[in-house]
Amino acid sequence: MPRRARFHTRPEKTVGAPPDAFSVARPRLSLHGALSVAYLSVCRKKARAKRAVACSSRAHDAAAAHYSVSFALSKPITPLSTPLPPSRASTLFRRKSIAQLQASPPADAHAGTGDGGLARHLTVRDLTALGIAAVIGAGIFSTIGNASHDGGPAVSLLFVFTAVACAFSALCYAQFAATIPVSGSAYTYAYASFGELAAWIIGWALIMEYAVGNIVVAISWSDYFTGLLDGIGMHMPDYLTLGTQSAYKGYHDVLALMQAGQPLSEASPAQLDAYRIWNSAPSLFGDFKLVCDLPAFLITVLVTALVYIGIKESKTASNLLVLLKLAVVAVVIAVGAFYVKSANWTPFAPNGVGGVLKGVSAVFFAYIGFDAISTTAEECNNPQRDLPRAMIYALVICTVLYVVITLVLTGMVSYKELGVGDPLSFVFKKVGVDWLAGVVAVSAVLLVFQIGQPRIWLTMSRDGLLPPVFAKVHPRFHTPSFSTIVTGLFVGVPALLLNMDLVIDLTSIGTLFAFALVCGGILVIDPYGRSDARFKVPYVSGRFLVPAVLLVGAVLLWNYNRPAINEFWGAFSSGSYEQFRHLIPMIVFLLFCVGLAVVSFTKRLSLLPVLGLLTNLYLMTQLGISNWILFFGWLIIGLAIYFSYSNKHSKLNAVASR
């Protein structure tokens, strides 16, 4: 039996390399592998020759170069000791890995304040209550009333279908929340999937959903509150219940009519009220009058103070408000059931499918808000388990309430009577309990969004995209103190002075944009449902289903909504730019549908995130070109801030320089 040759694992110096750079040690091989040894020796000689050429051509940095040789001695890798600075393009799309996000240090950790983290108090029950509080407000009645006026009792089914469509986004949020249980919501999820620039854009867009949206909520609450005071015999001065901008504009509109010699009947009731209030208000200086919406400002201050002193106190207040609100809704349903007449449910869909679909945007917006609870991930006892459950629970509970309320309202009165500005008061007058209108208007929505916005700013500050002061956490209350105060001022001062009716649709487009990016993010990080997260979107191959769904949708629109198609084609072929520009969002959406169908077929993308992406983008096309222009204007302001500050101060710059 032949003796085995023994090879020692003595390190061998590399030709032309500095003394401290070594090649991989020789492995032990038996004589049975003699042919392999011979082949390996030839490879070694070739590799040494290549290294010698490479080192001689880079002699100026040979002392800093080091080489790494694989077991088979393939091509050597020669990284520079000082990497070249990344290009601007690469910094725009750099991503934070899920491991980096999960290892994110507590806010204020750099300030020497101990752990400095947010306090964990929220359970699945608290999160569900926050979700319900964010979705259900006094606006549910106006949404149901307007949608029912167009579609009749069949709108109850539209709520079910819309809930299913909204569930696509909810499932994507739930998977991200289970995968990355940190504050930041869609901002953090975009950072992991699309990169820094997309994360900044979505963080900037979320300001429209939370902060700007809360301005509208505060003004709406003020209207309900002053109406409640009037109902019980208490009256605030009119000049303290209207925004300065509204009164000033209404006054000058009426003044212009009078100067033109036109009768006052040409003015709207709102303009006449503004004219009267501005004339009766006390003067501050010159022609400027003391006119402001004081209740809107005070409710913002009160809610901000509650959010500032702690998440535990906020959740207690939210739970109580939700219980009160659900009790009132239950009273509306119970009392209204005695007034239901089955004859009012006939015809069930008086205006056909087109009439029902006319309210799809308004119905979808009735569900907006469930995503706000994802901003509280670092304050949950068990975020990976509780956040997905709470989102689904809140969605199911709200859907049941919406369907039941729709059936009751359309059964109490004819759907033709529900197209009023305030169906809430209209319904309560029917049942004789007018005072409950103000109770339903108690704004838990304002509370939840005031919780969400500071936590998004806190997370952006941790990443270096905002100044460090936004990440400051109160040492006693364990809340993002500075961000909460800024949010209060950002909402309270405009609510005191401005009329923000213009930003209602702008708020919706920002929210839908966030939903779309979250759905797209799942297609990036887990397109085939192979994640190890505790919750993940069920994988259903969209190879054939996505084209089939689009085809079925096109056939249904052709058969049941022909007037809308004719209107679209007429505007497209009119040759008028004024008409054509309103079609631009829809044209882009149709092209995107074709592209996504092709990608889904070739890449076998997951069906549910694709459907969520398409649903949100379709609803964005229904908001009108003027809102898209405002949206892009808002993004341009955000991009200016990003390139002037955030890109230079990003924490990923330090990581890249190592």
- Comparing CA positions, the residue from 238, 230, 214 lying closest to residue 297 is 214
- Comparing CA positions, the residue from 399, 432, 426, 400 lying closest to residue 413 is 426
pLDDT at residue number 48: 61
d(CA 569, CA 551): 19
- What residues have CB less than 8 Å from 151, skipping those under 6 apart? 158, 349, 351, 355, 356, 357, 358, 359, 415
Instruction: Return the biggest CA–CA distance within the chain.
Output: 122
Instruction: Name the CA dihedral angle for 173, 178, 183, 187, rounded to a multiple of 10 degrees.
Output: -40
Instruction: Yes or no: say if 235 and 228 are a contact pair by the CB < 8 Å rule.
Output: no
- What residues have CB less than 8 Å from 499, skipping those under 6 apart? 219, 243, 245, 246, 249
pLDDT at residue number 26: 44
Instruction: Look at the block and give the residue holding tokens 């001065």.
Output: 237
Provide the token pair at 90.
């690469």
Q: For helices 584-603 and 607-621, what crossing angle results, to 10°? A: 170
d(CA 333, CA 377): 34
d(CA 159, CA 398): 10
DSSP, collapsed to helix, strand or coil, labels residue 330 as helix
d(CA 183, CA 186): 9
pLDDT at residue number 286: 73
Residue ranges of the chain whose pLDDT lies below 50: 1-35, 53-87, 106-115
d(CA 376, CA 512): 20
Q: For helices 311-337 and 423-431, what crossing angle results, to 10°? A: 50
Instruction: Look at the block and give the residue holding tokens 């209550």.
Output: 129
User: Which domains, ranges and CATH numbers included, belong to the chain?
Assistant: 1-81 (no CATH), 110-231+297-540+606-656 (1.20.1740.10), 244-291 (no CATH)
- Comparing CA positions, the residue from 246, 222, 249 lying closest to residue 236 is 222
Which DSSP category does 288 fall into? Answer: E
Instruction: Yes or no: say if 610 and 618 are a contact pair by the CB < 8 Å rule.
Output: no
